[in-house]
A = this chain, B = another copy of it.
């Protein structure tokens, strides 16, 4: 595995999710500790689940301090920006906050889909279910922990194309690097781009996964 590319996507995803966690906590008026927990859970929660499932104990997030500094840095930069913004720029910032949050979240989703799937392909190339599940769980796990801690129904269970984007990216990456032997870094970049693109297109056009409906409408199910 070309470790450089793996680390690039790992750090990119951690940063994007850490920032998205800070945005989420700020919009709920949490205190400093709540901001740290939501930011950390979103940034490293998926990776911890991934490491437990493949037996990488203790999880990487606890061994390498770079993850902590990314989280602390994201909190400092975002909260200082929010704290010292003047009122005119503040309103402009707030009107873009939701878009910024969704963009960071999409970048994190794409990055962690790549890192989870690649790690699975590297250690267990024969278990396709495991590898694709690792991609999806790494990508959506942090958000699930964040939402459960915050007492909300996790975003992946609501109607948007979220985990589906990660699933498609992960299947694409596994299919490319294992049966077709595409180089890991090429597969990673393509899979990241496809996942982020699907997610952003789904947000832009309000796409949803189809529901199961009965042929005739009538009695409510």
Question: Which residues of chain A from 10 to 58 have any CB-CB distance to chain B below 8 Å in the complex?
Answer: 26-27, 29-35, 37-38, 48, 52-55, 57-58
B127 touches A164 (CB 8 A): no
CB neighbours (8 Å) of A164 from chain B are 33
Q: Are A37 and B215 in contact (CB under 8 A)?
A: no
Complex copy number for this chain: 3
Given known A-B contacts A62-B127, A91-B219, A94-B221, A32 and B151 have beta carbons under 8 A apart: no
A154 near B149: Cβ-Cβ < 8 Å: yes
Cβ contacts under 8 Å, A157 to chain B: 30, 34, 37-38, 149-150
Question: Which residues from B are CB-within-8-Å of A153?
Answer: 149-151
Which residues of chain B are within 8 angstroms of A216 by Cβ–Cβ distance? 87
Contact B156–A37 (Cβ < 8 Å): yes
Report B-chain residues with C-beta under 8 Å of the C-beta of A129. 62-63, 65, 68
Residue A101, interface by CB 8 Å = no
